[in-house]
Chains A and B, each alone.
Chain A
Amino acid sequence: MDQNIPQKNLKLARNLLIIAIAMFGFGYALVPIYDVLCEWKWIERDRPDAIKQAKEMAYEIDKEREVTVEFIASLNENTPMIFRAETQKLKVHPGEYHTVNFYAENKKDTDINARAIHSFSPAVVSSFVDTITCFCFDEQVFKPKEAKKLPVRFAVNPELPKQYQTITLSYTFFDNTEKSVKK
């Protein structure tokens, strides 16, 4: 047998191992790549942090149509809060601005930092709802037993395709205290 084969084998094995390690890195590189791709205008859809503070647009109000907007409030696993939507359901004309309130209360005797994550159902309507004021933009700090009224001001874009007659806007509060304290 060719004397060089053991060396050739080791060299090839080393190169293949380098590929494997690089692919491990590639797995992590997918995280920023995903963020960048999701920023692209044509790909942007329904990221948790996709809601950006926006100016109130002057839409032409479409009096012909009515869209039902439903509000859902929920808590993640062990978030020690009371959280509910004060308005369950609202019929709006596309283009009109409305404000609805949510009620949130800290049940514990210590401070909690909580963050609300929103989601739209069906997912595709997210780019047709403009949220001007939202408690989901920032982390919320609750003093012990503190209760807050949290407003959301929004409008449905009149360009919303006609087949969507009901939109569900749901908020989930996550207890972020541990992570915030460590920072």
Chain B
Amino acid sequence: MSAVVAEHDDHHDDHHDHGPAKGILRWIITTNHKDIGTLYLMFALAMFFVGGSMALIIRAELFEPGLQFVDPQFFNSMTTMHALVMVFGAVMPAFVGLANWMIPMMIGAPDMALPRMNNMSFWLLVAGVLMLASTLFMEGGAPAGGWTLYPPLVLQTGKAFPFAVFSVHLLGISSIMGAINIIATILNMRAPAMTLMKMPLFVWTWLITGFLLIAIMPVFAGAVTMLLTDKFFDTSFFDAAGGGDPVLYQHIFWFFGHPEVYVMILPTFGVASTIIPVFARKPLFGYSSMVYATASIAFLSFIVWAHHMFTVGMPLAGELYFMYATMLIAIPTGVKVFNWTATMWKGSMTFETPMLFSIAFVVLFTMGGFTGLMMSVAPVDFQYHDTYFIVAHFHYTLVPASIFILMAAGYYWLPKWTGHMYNEKIGQLHFWLSTISVNILFFPQHFLGLAGMPRRIPDYAVQFADWNMISSIGAFIFGISQLLFLYIVIDTIRGGTGEKVSDEVWEDAHKHGLEWTLPSPVPYHTFTTPPTEIPTEHI
């Protein structure tokens, strides 16, 4: 299926006075949800390439045993900064960008609830990431103790330490404001006919993610503030000499950190649940169970944090509790995977690029989920802890899951945003290169981890040489393939295939979501009067 030119002509001449401001200032002062969504997405794409380049430095160094290109301190900075940039600069902002673009259009609202705050949260994000990036050029180098910032190691960071802490504060404030805005939009701005249980799942997952963010970002801000006062103001929260305990930091950090990983995966689930039914030409299987599963995962995320620290010397009761609670998460997650599969079952599927990425997500995310289940078993985790096995695990749940779904979302909505069709051939080439190389990149890391290769090291024993080389080759193919996506985004904005896309873009998509009832490209202002009819094919 593809674009069919719509016959009806709906040039809307009622809003000429409210068009975007002229020139560059448009992007700085804008309060329009579509403009801010675009800013977020562009910024995230840029950071995806920055963080990706850092990953390639890591993989280049690990191509062979021995020290080749960078010194160990810089290597450690790269692992730390790669994680921080990808989590706080790429994946989270990309989903906030999608939320900005799509949520008002999906629920029939004219804009976000608090448009000025929306602008501010974007620019604070830029400030936070720039401050983080500036630490690379400071005396003593960027933070190198891992993105978890564990004391006492992180307290040895040079001049960069307070800047890293303040950048976490800025990023936290930005996400909290974004989350408040999204929750207020969803709860207050829906079209009257859009009841909660008719909302598209992307909206549902973001509503829940918003609450997660509000609950956890302040806790992280508190933890890094304690680090700051420990270092400069003689407090002893984590300083053993003053009666503190470094393990306490790990508890506070992971109270934030575990829900944080769901902040990155729940909107992923939402987009997958939006795309798969359209290309399977069936309603989503088990809509309400999807909503409840999302809520259960969010709840469970708050009570399982210590499975990240099975090896710190917890009492047996603690190990058992966190082990069983963690295993419980497999149930709602299994419900989701089952529902996606059942949605595709006997559907009239077609395999355009968004669907290809979504199917790869279902398969590869499930693999990441299984290794997660393996590590939930406390006694076994003692072997996996801090090895490449955990690196393989969380990259499977983030790269071929969150990143793939972000790609799918790009392909899925770009025609609606720009009014142009992307080049399907290059899209599919991008998909196949990404899917094959991502497995060459991360699958061998399972073997390395099981064989005992520790994470965050610039050099390794020769027995790990072969799989590291294969993994690095996969990394370079994967990294270079992503330039195709950049090309497609630019090409589509500038006209794409030249084919004029219809309003619904994908066959019968207007039955699945309100955004497809709007013209393509979407006008600057939409749903100034709330729609009265709600498509229900997605539920």
Contacts and interface: CB of A to CB of B under 8 A. Distances in A.
A and B: partners?
yes
A9 B242 CA distance: 46
A141 interface: no
B221 A43 contact: no
A5 B317 contact: no
B315 A45 contact: yes
Interface string B297-319: 00000000000000011110110
Interface string A1-32: 10001001110110011011101111110110
A25 B225 CA distance: 12
Nearest to B238: A31
A13 B214 CA distance: 11
Contacts of A123: 312-313
Interface string A101-126: 00000000000000101000011100
A12 B207 CA distance: 14
B159 interface: no
A21 B218 CA distance: 7
A124 B218 contact: no
B188 interface: yes
A28 B217 contact: no
B222 A27 contact: yes
A174 B236 CA distance: 13
B308 to A, nearest CB: 15
B180 A13 contact: yes
B241 A24 contact: no
A174 B181 CA distance: 47
Q: Report whether over half of chain B's contact residues are helix, strand or loop; otherwise say mixed.
A: helix
B236 A179 contact: yes
A182 interface: yes
Contact of A182 (B114, B117, B181, B234): B234
B245 A47 contact: yes
Contact of B317 (A25, A26, A42, A179): A42
A138 interface: no
B219 A27 contact: yes
A96 interface: no
Given A5-B189, A13-B184, A179-B242, A20 B317 contact: no
Interface in A30-61: 30-31, 34, 42-49
Given A24-B221, A27-B219, A42-B315, A16 B189 contact: no
B318 A27 contact: no
Question: Among B189, B219, B226, B241, which residue has the most Cβ atoms of chain A within 10 A?
Answer: B241
A64 interface: no
A176 interface: yes
B448 interface: no
Interface in A140-164: none
A12 B183 contact: yes
A12 B214 contact: no
B237 interface: yes
Contact of B218 (A9, A23, A46): A23
Interface stretch (B247-255, B423-431, B439-447): B247-255
B481 to A, nearest CB: 39
A1 B219 CA distance: 37
Nearest to A43: B315
B168 to A, nearest CB: 13
Contact of B243 (A10, A13, A45, A49): A49
A48 B156 CA distance: 21
Interface residues of A, number: 43
A1 B117 CA distance: 20
B240 interface: yes
Interface string B161-188: 0000000000000001001110110011
A42 to B, nearest CB: 6
B240 A117 contact: yes
Given A13-B184, A23-B216, A30 B313 contact: no
A27 B216 CA distance: 9
B215 interface: yes
B254 to A, nearest CB: 11
Interface string B76-106: 0000000000000000000000000000000
A122 B316 CA distance: 14
A99 interface: no
Given A9-B113, A26-B219, A31 B236 contact: no
A76 interface: yes
B110 interface: yes
A49 B241 CA distance: 10
A20 B188 contact: no
Contacts of B219: 23-24, 26-27, 30
Contacts of B47: none
Contacts of B248: 30-31, 34
Contacts of B218: 20-21, 23-24, 26-27
6 contacts: A12-B184, A12-B187, A23-B217, A27-B255, A124-B313, A174-B240
- 8 closest Cβ pairs, A-B complex: A27-B222, A123-B313, A174-B241, A24-B218, A23-B218, A27-B219, A9-B113, A16-B180
Interface of A: 1, 5, 8-10, 12-13, 16-17, 19-21, 23-28, 30-31, 34, 42-49, 76-77, 115, 117, 122-124, 172, 174-176, 178-179, 182
Interface of B: 110, 113-114, 117, 156, 176, 179-181, 183-184, 187-189, 214-223, 226, 234, 236-237, 239-243, 245, 248, 251-252, 255, 312-315, 317-318, 530
Given A17-B180, A27-B252, A45-B315, 8 more contacts: A12-B187, A13-B117, A16-B214, A20-B218, A30-B252, A31-B226, A43-B315, A46-B313
